[in-house]
Structure 1
Amino acid sequence: MLLDEAKHAFTFDENSSFNSATSNYHVDGESKEKPTGSTSLVKYDADTNNTDTQGKGDWDGIVYGLFYTKDDTAVKWTDGIKSLPIAITYGTKDNDTNVELKLDKDNKVGVQNLDLSSNDQFYWKELRTSKGYSLSTKHIPVDFTGKKL
C-alpha cells in the first residue's frame, strides 16, 4: 500500500486507549504526550537527622499524604493520566481515594506518574505518626527540577 502526501484528519475519542509503555502519539509531528513526575520521601528523626528511631519510638503506622500547593487539597489516585495512573513506588496504600501512604521498611513513601501538564506544585504532609513521636505540621515541598531540598 502506498501513502499519499495528502493530510488526512483523524481524532481520538474518550474511548481511545494508549499503551502506557509508548503513550505518546503524534499529530503533524507534534508530541501530545503529557509530562509526568515522580516523588519520594524518606522519614528522618528530627533530632538525629537519620532514619534510626530514638528510645522506644518506632516508625510503624506513620502515614504521609500528597497535596496540591495551590489549594491544599489532597491529590487523588484518580488525578493521574487516564492511560498512565498514579502508581506507588514506595510504601503501602492507606486510603483508596487520596494519595496516602504508610512508610515502607526503609522509611520511604513515593509515587510516580503525577500529571505535570498543569504545572501544579505538590507537598507531602505527615497525617499520622507513631508511638514516641509528635505529628509534624511541616509541608515538605516536592521539587521537579532535580535539586535536592
Structure 2
Amino acid sequence: MAATDGPLRKSRLSLLLFAVPAVAIVGISVAISLPDAGSVRAAFEAPMVAISLVLAIAALVWGGVFMSRPIVMLTREGVERPDGRKLKWAQVTAVEAGEETTNAPSQSGANRQTVHEVTRLFYGDGEVSKITTTWAAIGPQAAGDRIAEAFAQSRKPQ
C-alpha cells in the first residue's frame, strides 16, 4: 500500500490563478500611472503602483499557502483533510468517482455551470464526503483511482 499512501497535491498550474491577477494588478496600475509620470521608471514610483505591488505580493503569498496544502492525505487508516478532519477507511462503505456540477448566478445572463471531478466517499447513514480532484497534480482520474486503490487496499486482509 506504500504507493497509495501520501498526499494528493495540487497541480503547479493552479498557481496561475494567483500569478495572472497579480501581474494584471501591477500592469494596470502602471498603465494608469504612466500618463502622469511620463516614464515607466517614474510610474513604478507612484503610490498607486506601490499599493498594487503589495496586493500582488499578498496574492502570490496566498497562492503559495494554497499550493502548499495538499488536497487530502491518504494514510493506511483513512483520509485526512488539510483542515484536520479525518475519515477512517473502516467507516467508508463505498468510493465513487464522478463529476459535480455547481451553478453560479450571473447578473449578465443565465447561471454559469462549472463541472469539477470529485471522488465521493460514502459512510454512515447515507453521508457523503466529497474530495475534489480537479486540480490534482497527477490528474483528476489518476487521483480518483489512487483514492479507490487506497480504499481497496484497506479492505484486504493483512
What range is the shorter-chain TM-score in? under 0.3
TM-score (norm 1): 0.26
Greater helix percent: which structure? Answer: 2
